[in-house]
A and B are shown apart, each in its own frame.
Chain A
Amino acid sequence: MKIAVNQLSLKYGNELALSEVSFDIDSPKIYGLLGKNGAGKTSFLSILASYREPTSGSVTVNGETPFENATVMQQVAFLYNKDYKEETDNVLGILQDTERYRPHFDREYAEYLVNRFNLDVKKPVKQFSKGMQSALNVIIGLASRAPITIFDEVYLGMDVPSRDIFYKELLEDQEKHPRVIILSTHLVSEMEYLFDEVIILDKGKVIIHEEFDSLINKGVKIIGNGEAVDRFVQSKNQIHVEQLGQTKAVMIYGELSDHDRMVAREQGLELEPISLHELFLHVTKEGA
């Protein structure tokens, strides 16, 4: 599955939700789509899932536009924080319905997950707690085994143990049935170990799209004497500065060469890796 996003823009009235976004997704991996509220995550995912059309630009899946394309639409499962307050059907009914329209749906696996999340199969879904409804969305998403599976903040209502089950099942199933999985979230610290690639959206633009490992290597905290730190980081992309007395800590984003590392050692500077959570926080803060 190859998703190509080209100069994609979406406007709501005068407000620009997505601004000329371009990137490719071309391998069956887990992609973390990160962004603050209103960054444009759901807008992009809605277009990919054929829920709406872009204002300009394009998204293609294997070269085809998803909107009203029966072949593509069947391959894309979009799970979000769906409101089930009027859903009188029970879990069994909903899974049967999903099975009819999702060609790769695995009924046995769905039943296994229902047990794993301890859901009552006969109770009307509208009587479920928010966490149970989220678990149902997760089950539908995983068991549909759609070649492009999108989870848009679907786990927000789940408690920590349920989220843990989800993360484990996701990794296990992805290993057996690799597909493009997009996890849109702002629970960055908790989920970062799941991501193979990270896409960070901010104010409708992609500001970072990197492999997780290389991204993590690019974020470094330089700690030491204020003047020495300033000298070292002056030509670097600084994303955050902290000062405590004479000691200064500056976070930078960018590759450090072997020469840079040698210089830092000579200057008595400490180099510390930074987490994805910290990186996300500082690259998306106002005025960054």
Chain B
Amino acid sequence: MKQPRIFQKVALDMFWAQFQWALGFLGIMLGIHIFRIVTSFMRGTDVDTYFNMVFVAANIFIFILGIICMNFLKHYVGNGVTRKDYFKGGLIASLGLSIVLPIITLLVSAVSQLVIGQIDRVTINEPNINSVVLDIELDGNIIGNIISSVVQSFVVPPYVDPNGALILALGIVSLNVFIYYLIGWMIHAGFYRLGTLGGLGFVLVGVVTLILKDTLLRIILDLPIAEMVQFLDFVPQSVAGITVFLLMMMLIGIIRTLTKRAMIKI
């Protein structure tokens, strides 16, 4: 039987390790969701779908996974795996997670919606998530505006309702979480390789990428754009799509460059 290549083993192992953590995260979110259903039942109020709830929290979770991903480097080089195989394996694993996580969330959400549908006293909340972006008030404080945009991006990135366009909704969530993962990985790699100052530089790159990604996705999806980046409104959808792809490639390129010849500290 043909032995799997090393990067395939790394991909599988990294996927499995992080998938277990992701299951833990989804489990906790399910616990919170059930608690909310119970409280809504008692109060007779409405409740967010599981999908929407995870949608809001998943970015931070996956961003942290991206940061932790850098810790695998020492482990794998210590086991005789090249940095290249670690990088390829890590990338495949993160892509796999970004695809699987929204699918599981959607399946659990469908079951939960079925259950909620049977309960008369609880209704499903249908928020207009995308309009949150318009609520950010701009003032002369540029740093403040940027922070608002980043926080908003973490909490509510561009959203597509899965009840409308299922594949698109899943695709957008996958793309969002994948980019968050890459940004976390890049920032840790930046600190690891270049120290505090270099690392902070990559935090800045991450912030700019995040704002750009969000804006471009909103352009592609015909969603409202934040006031601060209104000047990007002229960008055609096709160019926005290509730019999002290029941003992703840029992040991947930076991570590879930072880890390619990284020293393993002992």
Residues of A in contact with B (beta carbons under 8 Å apart): 42, 46, 50-53, 67-70, 73-78, 80, 82, 97-98, 100-102, 146
Contacts and interface: CB of A to CB of B under 8 A. Distances in A.
Contact of A101 (B80, B261, B266): B80
B266 A75 contact: no
Contacts, number: 50
A97 B264 contact: no
B252 interface: no
Chain A residues touching B, majority SS = mixed
A237 B86 CA distance: 51
Classify chain B's interface size: 10 to 19
Contact of A70 (B82, B261, B263): B82
A73 B266 contact: no
B9 interface: yes
A112 to B, nearest CB: 21
Closest 7 CB pairs of A and B: A101-B79, A51-B264, A52-B263, A73-B80, A74-B80, A68-B82, A70-B82
A102 B264 contact: no
A52 B264 contact: yes
A77 B266 contact: no
B264 A46 contact: yes
Contacts of A52: 263-264
A288 to B, nearest CB: 29
A100 B9 contact: yes
A100 B80 CA distance: 11
Interface string B255-266: 000000101101
A52 B9 CA distance: 23
8 contacts: A52-B263, A52-B264, A70-B82, A70-B85, A73-B82, A78-B78, A80-B266, A101-B76
A77 B80 contact: yes
A115 to B, nearest CB: 23
Given A70-B81, A76-B80, 4 more contacts: A46-B264, A67-B261, A69-B82, A100-B79
Contacts of A102: 79-80
A70 B79 contact: no
Interface in B226-266: 261, 263-264, 266
A73 B10 CA distance: 15
Contacts of B13: 97, 100
B81 A101 contact: yes
Interface in B65-113: 76-85
Contacts of A69: 82
Contact of A46 (B82, B85, B261, B266): B266
B9 A101 contact: yes
A53 B79 contact: no
Nearest to A72: B80
A42 B266 contact: yes
A46 B79 CA distance: 13
Interface string B37-58: 0000000000000000000000
Contacts of B78: 78, 82
Nearest to B266: A80
